[in-house]
Structures are given as structure tokens and as C-alpha cells.
Structure 1
């Protein structure tokens, strides 16, 4: 069963508080219960007193309806849950002091000690054993049956006391042996500190967990930049559908505002990966901070380092997708470290000596030419080839003008809940613009229009549009659409030319190569006279 916190517990009314679930059975449950009150005001914590398959079933069911940022578990339970949950897991890990204290307690019970740990835990106790003359038999297990066999083997060899994880202690006591729990309150506290640091890291990257139901309902909004009936956008969607199921790294290139992060999110959403989507802009953080943000650091790595160390975004995206925007801004020393993560599937925290294995998919994005940076010696060639295993190139909005009307209608529906109130000339004016900021610029303009527009004023015509968005006239002189036409210009072209010439009709007539009388007649026929 699981034990929810009391509704009157401190912090329940704060929706920003991290949500942490602990998963445990046997002895560890009591130890967690002793430590949880110390963190009760810093997070919403719930105990799930289950293990293995039962814990996975309950957690996955609850995740469909409830948010959870991090799960904490120990020993074999942690190893089992890590690859089966759609949420990051922080393991409770015994440190050297825990081991020495547990062995000292066990020595007071019997001279010969059995140490039973999960295969992922490899404690170092050789020097301690030699210094204190202890007789220690160490066994490692993977499954529950392995643990039971280890205890039986030790008992047959005359061992009377077992030091180990909660499962090992349960089996030892069932076999008539005394047990000493390997974990201490300090190791549990450190796990909570790591979990809280991980939630803060995820919050900074905008990657906090939301229930599956909310993710499904918001997925349509995430794919906004992928709308479009043009052939180039159809090709982009085909690439996403093809690449999503593969773990190979994807390099997404395109101008600012074309939707590179949305492509990365769509790749993650369709990949079936159980972990999170974690995003980092490599150009937004200084090099000194970027290393610890990306790779994390160990306890005591440098002066001022947080006690217990810090989880980096590489570890935070374990089981999910790491999106590295503006990858071309990644400093050369960190490029070497990133390449190791991609090649070895492990990350070494700053100041650490042992790497941590990670299972992640990396999607990188760039608005500059990485090939040119490679030629200039500013980007590692081997990393470039590793990142560009699969490539998606996003077209600028001016290369798919036929999609502008579709996007405008979508944004008005999304932001105001109505169809776009633009007449034909105004829509043509939008379609003819250059859009250096691409889809992002278009959406921001629609946001401005929907604030100013009132239903009583009817549709927005070209004149009203230019009054609300005078920047559209700045493209007039250079836009091919606005060059003097061979015949009589359309009303939209006349409107744009008027704006470009700041209502200087004489200069406009000269640009068109016509008399002022002809211009007056054209303007009057277009309703602009």
C-alpha cells in the first residue's frame, strides 16, 4: 500500500513544492519515516511501502493522474524501478561511514560477518577489514532468489550476522540470522538532498513532471510550429515520424523562431522513451556554470560546492531526451566531455572519479553552420559527425508563404478562440512579409492583434493592420512583391508602397514610373484615394 501525507501537512497548499515519492519495504521503511519529517517543509513527500512489480504498477497508475518529480528507493528496489518508471529515480547509497558503522555493530554480535549487497553496490572495505581484523564474507545479488541463495550459502559457512540492504536483512532473519541494516539516516538525508537538487535542476530547464493526461492534452499546442500544408513541412513531419523510434542523435538546424525545440519535443513524444524531456540553451550560461549545470558535480568538488554534490542535466534526462539548443556555443572543453557521454553512455561529474551510466537520447539544435565552425576550429569534427547522425532542416517562414494564413488562423484560435478577423488584403500583406523571426515573430504579432481587435470593429483590413504592425512596411522596399509591377498594382501592393514611401505619392509615382494622375486614379479605384 502507499501512505499519503496528511492533508493538513505543511506545504500542501503550495503547488510549486517538489513532489517526492519514496519506495521501500522492510527495515528501510522505518528509517525513511524517521527522516521524512526533516524535509516535510521543503517538499511534498509520500511513502509507497511496496517493492518491485507491485510498486511499478501503483506508481505508473498514479502518474497518469498525479505529478511526481522524483522517486527515492534503495538497493535492489532502486535498480528494478530505474528502467521501469517514467520519472527520475534517486538511489539511497550507503557511504563508507555507513559501512564501517554497520560492520562495527555486526562485530559486536558475532566475529564472522556476512555482507550482502545488490550487484550495483560495490562497497570498499578491504582496508577497514585488514585494520580491524574482521572476517567478512561479501556476496552480491541481482534477484530476490539470488539474495535468498546468498544468505543460505553464508549460513551454511557458519556466518551468524548479516549486514546488508533491507531485502537481505529480511532473508537473514527468516533464516534465523541476525541482521544489521547497511543504510543510515545520513545516507537517507543525502538521497533527499539529491532529489531536491534534481527537482530544482529540472525546474530551471522547464522540465518538471506533469501527469500523462495533461501531457496528452497539451501535445497539440506543442506542435504549433509544425503546422503547414507545404511540401517542406510535410517532409519535416515525415522525418520526425521516421527518426522518433531510433536512439540516434538528431541535429535540428534552422533560423531563429522556426520551431527547433518543438521538433525536439515531438521527437521525444513519439519516441516512447519513459524519461523526461530536458532542455538547455548552451549559449545562455557562462562556461564556468555550464559545466556543472550539464554534468553535475560531486561532494567537495570545489570551494562552495553543495554538500552531497549536484545532479547535472545529463543525469536528469536519464531514460529520456536531452535537448541542447545553440549547440554551436558549447565551449571546446565541454564538447570533449559531451562526446564521451554520447560514445560511452556515461557521465562523469565534476570532481568525481567514477562515472554514472546514463540512457538518454540527445537532440541538438543550431541556427549557425556547424560545418563552418568545424572549419574554423571552433567545433570538434568528431562531435559534429556524432551529433549529425540524423538531420532535420527547418525552412524559414518566407520559404513557405502558403502556410502563413493557416498559422494565423491557428494562433487566433489558440489565443482568442476565434477565426482570424483579417480580410483578404490584410492576409496577403502578412503572407508577403519577410518574417526574419519566422513563426515566433508571426505568433507574437497575432498576440498583439488579438489584444487590439474588438469584434465590433469588424475585420482587420490592410490599413488597420499596418497601423498596428508598422514593421511590416519596413520590408516594402526590398520585398520582390513590392517591386513596381508591369501592370496596375493590386490594392495590397499599393497599400504596401504607400507605407514604404510614407505617403509620399510623388516619390511613389516616380518609383512606379507613372504620372501622379495615373497614381491618383489607381489609388481611388483601390479605395485609397
Structure 2
């Protein structure tokens, strides 16, 4: 007789805790118990730290812990979430009740007593009015903002004969203090959705390049990489303009040729703004329209075929309390321009498939190397959005316009790339200063990187002849952008024919950076045009 032993599935190894996103949950009262029931379902996907406090106490404790610990996202519910949202340095995902939560909570309350009061924070259950009307329910609904408001709502309902309260944890606490039974509005599913949104948010931030102490180089290195260097009058004026604009909430439009440092200026505006949220960057020309909408505004579960369960947080929400940098804003499709205008004017975002907007506190900095006025005249860019974006405006100088800063930049890039001192001879450095730099500071950094690879540290001075052997771009001396006799438009209003694009690329020796500069477009746009021309 054979005996079959039970087969045990091997236990998967625990993931490295250092590689997991860090989520802190902040809660008081009944919500703490509900979170405790759900957290074990996610402890293999995130390192979850419960903080059983609320309001001022939670802000103080979180502020102290953030000075010595890392956190990616905070999860909280109701009035606690609303209070914490503008007071934390990390993104916050609220636990939000949905229609199913409301129906289940009302059904439980009905079994306790017939007269029901619903007490929610001002941001909770926005569809209750239509829900109550559709089902003909006789339920008293009160909204509160502060703890005193919640206490007053409960007292008013009790005086009007309400026998049971459905609401947030705070509302239930107040109800039970005056002898009324309470039913928690939130369900385990709403908590699970908050965790899914928080995990999605950490992935979104990682894709967008948002800084994280756990994944990136030390802060000192990042600050050096993002330094805005130069002693010229043009750079001094630029730094003064950034310092003037940074504390204000108005949108900023940054214009300039490719490679002049538009994202760097946006990061400087954010760093000097005092805003405690993240800096999120998105290139509007690098993503197709269908994907761009979901990436920027997010979507709800079931919004379209293949939509992720629980929906997805968009970059507008991910930048809560911080700065959203939209590069190549001229590439934003017209339908999405309308949606962005709503975000700027109403301070709220509507996810794809959603019926109710989400309030957001985000500052938008947009950048373009195209002339938006030309796009407006061609009806390719909304005039009202243009005026909204250009509330404050920064025009960046080309590198040729502040070429006296080139020696300082060269030395900085050599240090940044691992070489302590610049190896260039005086003659080689002078040739760099005389060059027109159609790709601006980005081109300079790329050429310095090439020199560093060919000429390791410790080999002495690098002569002009040796430099020219590795930098053939410097043999020809293209005229600086905007010089007399040049035909470099600030922007193109229509895409050139495929044959014209190929001819221009050939004239530039295959240098896409230079071809894009002559067209007045970004390298991303040029790549897309060439790819679409090849596929046609």
C-alpha cells in the first residue's frame, strides 16, 4: 500500500526590505483596526509602518521621523487625511469611501435603528445626494471640516431624533460619547484600494525621476548636478529672476533653445519655493496622446478596457503639494490642453472615467522651445491656456550668449564626471569658447564626457589637435543661433516633408542635436517626426 504525502508549496523568499516602497498609515479610532486587518495582505509588497495618531500629533511625529527615516507615501482617511495633506513633505493617498461602502454601512445601520444620520468630512462621499434621491432614502447628511464641526453635527442630529450614525472614525467617536451607536463608513475594500493607489504612486514617482533618498545618490551630489552656474550678467539676472518668482504660486513658462537648461530652471524654482511636495517632470512630446492622458490625469477602475484594478494615480495628483514640470508643452494635444486648463483654474483634477474631481495643490512650470504664440495663431494651442501658463515667464539665454561662462562650466562638468581638474590646454579651451554651441549647455556636457573617456586623468594637458581629433564638431564653426544671415527659425509652424528632414539631417552630418536646433524643435520631436516619416 502506498501512502501519498501532502505536497507543500515552497515558501517564496521574503523580498529585500530595502528594495520595497515605504508606506506609513496614519489613523485613529475604528479605522486603526480596519487597517490592521488589511495590512498583512500588502506586507510583502511594501514596508508598512502604522502611526496611530491624528492631526497635530501626527504632523509632529511624522516631521520628527522624516528627519531620520524615509517614507514614500502616507495613507490616511477622512478629516485626518485632509488635515495632513498640506502639512507633510511626502505624498498622501486618502482612504475614500465608495458607493458600495455607503450601501453596506447604511444596511448595517438600518438593522440597528430606522433613523440614520450620515456624518462625513467635506471631501467624503461626493455622490451621496444623487444616491439618496435615487433610492428615496430619508437620511440626514452632515459634513464637517474641523473636530468642533463634527461634534456640532452629532449634537444637531441627536437633537433631531437620529438614532444611529454612519460616518468616519471621528464622527463615530463623537456619536458614542453622546450615547449613539456608530457604523464605520469605510470598508476593507476601500482600504485595499488606498494601498493599491499608494503602490502605484511609488511606481509613478520612480518613472518620473522624482528624487528618493533610498534610490538615488547623496543629496550633495544631486545639488551639484542641478547647480545653475555662471558669473556672466545673463546668468546673474536669471538667478535673480528665479529667486523673485520662486515663492509665488503662479505658473511659470520657461522658454529657450534646446539644451539651455529648462528643466534645471524648473528644479531651481521648486527648490526655492518652499513647497514640501515632490518635483515631478513629464515630457509631453515623448508619449502618445492615449497614454499621455492616463499618465497625466490618472484613471478610475473600469475607465477603459485593460484599466488596472483600483485605477491609477496621475502625475498631477502625484505632484500634490509640489511642482509639476511639463516639458515640451507645445506638444500637448488640444483635448488635453482643455483638461490642463481646468487643473490650473479650478485647482482640481478629473481622472479618466471619474465623475467627481479631486482637489489638488500643485504648481505648474511649463517649458517650450517653440514659439507658443505661433502655435496659438495656427490654432494648435489654446490661447486661454497660453495666457494662463505665461503668468510668469523666463527666457533662457543660449550658451553662445554667455560664453564667458564656458571655462567655469567645463571645469564643473569634468569634476561632476569624476575628473578633479580640467585637462584642457589654453588653446583648446579657447576653441570651446569660440564654438557656436547649437546644442547649448547639454552639448557642452556631452562633449566633455567624450573627452573624459578618451583622455583619462593624469595624462597631462590636452592639446587643441588632440581635442579636435575626438571632437570633429569643432572643425566647422557654425554661426551662433540668431546671427545675421542664418536661417534658424524660432519654431516651425508645420512639419517639413520627409525628404526635407532627411536632407537637413544630412547637411548636419547626421547630428540630430544640431538639426533639431535649426528647426527650433526638441530632439524628442525630431525623433518622432523621423520615425513617423520612415513608417509612412
TM-score by length of 1: 0.83
Is 1:474 the equivalent of 2:476?
yes
Q: How does 1:64-463 map onto structure 2 within 5 Å? A: 64-122=67-125, 124-125=127-128, 136-210=139-213, 217-218=220-221, 220-224=223-227, 226-463=228-465
Query: Deviation string for 1:151-191 (max 9, x for gaps)?
Result: 23333444332221111222222223322111110110111
1: distance between equivalents of 2:450 and 2:399? 19
Is 1:20 the equivalent of 2:23?
yes
| Matched residue, 1:49 | 52
- TM-superposed deviation, 1:438: 1.3
1: distance between equivalents of 2:108 and 2:202? 35
Secondary structure in structure 2 of the residue aligned to 1:475: coil
Secondary structure in structure 2 of the residue aligned to 1:187: helix
1: distance between equivalents of 2:151 and 2:252? 45
Which has the higher Rg, Structure 1 or Structure 2?
1
- TM-superposed deviation, 1:408: 0.7
1: distance between equivalents of 2:136 and 2:269? 57
Query: Deviation string for 1:243-275 (max 9, x for gaps)?
Result: 111111111111111110000000011011121
In structure 1, runs of 5+ residues without a counterpart are 1-8, 481-529
- TM-superposed deviation, 1:49: 0.8
Query: Deviation string for 1:392-438 (max 9, x for gaps)?
Result: 11111122221110001111222224121212111111111222221
| Matched residue, 1:34 | 37
Tell me: CA distance 1:37–1:298, structure 2 relative to 1, closer, same or farther (3 Å): same
1: distance between equivalents of 2:402 and 2:136? 77
1: distance between equivalents of 2:451 and 2:172? 67
Secondary structure in structure 2 of the residue aligned to 1:262: helix
2: distance between equivalents of 1:394 and 1:126? 51
2: distance between equivalents of 1:460 and 1:130? 80
Question: Comparing 248-257 with 467-476, which one deviates more in the overlay?
Answer: 467-476
Secondary structure in structure 1 of the residue aligned to 2:351: coil
Secondary structure in structure 2 of the residue aligned to 1:227: coil
1: distance between equivalents of 2:116 and 2:196? 31
Tell me: CA distance 1:388–1:156, structure 2 relative to 1, closer, same or farther (3 Å): closer
Secondary structure in structure 2 of the residue aligned to 1:359: coil
Secondary structure in structure 2 of the residue aligned to 1:197: helix
2: distance between equivalents of 1:167 and 1:215? 41
RMSD: 2.5
Tell me: CA distance 1:381–1:43, structure 2 relative to 1, closer, same or farther (3 Å): same
2: distance between equivalents of 1:170 and 1:461? 78
Contact kept, 8 Å, 2:279 with 2:319, in 1: the verdict is yes
1: distance between equivalents of 2:417 and 2:129? 65
In structure 2, runs of 5+ residues without a counterpart are 1-12, 482-536
Query: Deviation string for 1:52-74 (max 9, x for gaps)?
Result: 00111111222233332211111
Is 1:11 the equivalent of 2:15?
yes
| Matched residue, 1:520 | none
- TM-superposed deviation, 1:197: 1.7
Contact kept, 8 Å, 2:419 with 2:457, in 1: the verdict is no
- TM-superposed deviation, 1:114: 2.4
Tell me: CA distance 1:193–1:456, structure 2 relative to 1, closer, same or farther (3 Å): closer
1: distance between equivalents of 2:153 and 2:420? 68
Tell me: CA distance 1:464–1:120, structure 2 relative to 1, closer, same or farther (3 Å): same
1: distance between equivalents of 2:133 and 2:375? 56
- TM-superposed deviation, 1:12: 4.2
Question: Comparing 135-144 with 234-243, which one deviates more in the overlay?
Answer: 135-144
Contact kept, 8 Å, 1:66 with 1:210, in 2: the verdict is no
Question: Comparing 336-345 with 453-462, which one deviates more in the overlay?
Answer: 453-462
2: distance between equivalents of 1:266 and 1:455? 31
What is the total number of aligned residue pairs between the two structures? 469
- TM-superposed deviation, 1:448: 2.2
Contact kept, 8 Å, 1:10 with 1:40, in 2: the verdict is no
Tell me: CA distance 1:214–1:47, structure 2 relative to 1, closer, same or farther (3 Å): farther
Secondary structure in structure 2 of the residue aligned to 1:20: strand
Tell me: CA distance 1:85–1:129, structure 2 relative to 1, closer, same or farther (3 Å): same
